[in-house]
Amino acid sequence: MEYQVVSQGKFDVVMLSGDIDLYYTPDARRIVLQCLNEKRGVLVDLSAVTYIDSSGIACLVEGYQTAKQRQLSFGLIGVSENAMNVLRLTRLDQVFPIHDSLAAALRHGG
């Protein structure tokens, strides 16, 4: 997994790429929570994610719930087909705010 964080207005955009599995999930979790700790809304870009398992999904759920508790925005953008299939299998596609692109997410305020 590789990652990059860029600031976009009131959001941090966390771009994850590659496989998000049990080995890399602690890194993804640390990055997402760090952005939320800085009181920034978070948009996680999953467009370059080739694989995500339940540990990676758990990290996204934790981010979503932490953001909610702190009244910050949290959303997913450009979800890759593989990642979307896992979200569908766990029915979390109905829970996360999901946007096609960063522009769409910004239009909707995250």
Partner 1 sequence: MNAVTTLLAELRFPARAEHLQALRAAVRSAAQQCGCDPPLTEQLTLAVNEAAMNIIQHGYREAPTGEIILEIHNNGTELVFRLLDFAAPVDSTALRPRDLDEVRPGGLGLHLIRTVMDRVEYLQPPPGVGNLLQLSKRIP
Please tell me whether residue 17 adopts helix, strand or coil conformation.
Answer: strand
Residues 41-70 vs partner 1: string with x where CB under 8 A?
----------x-xxx-xxx-xx-xx-----
Residues 53/21, Cβ–Cβ less than 8 Å = yes
Beta-carbon count within 10 A of 76 CB: 24
Closer to partner 1 at the Cβ: 5 or 84?
A: 84
Using CB under 8 A, list all residues that contact partner 1: 19, 21-23, 51, 53-55, 57-59, 61-62, 64-65, 82, 85-86, 89-92, 95
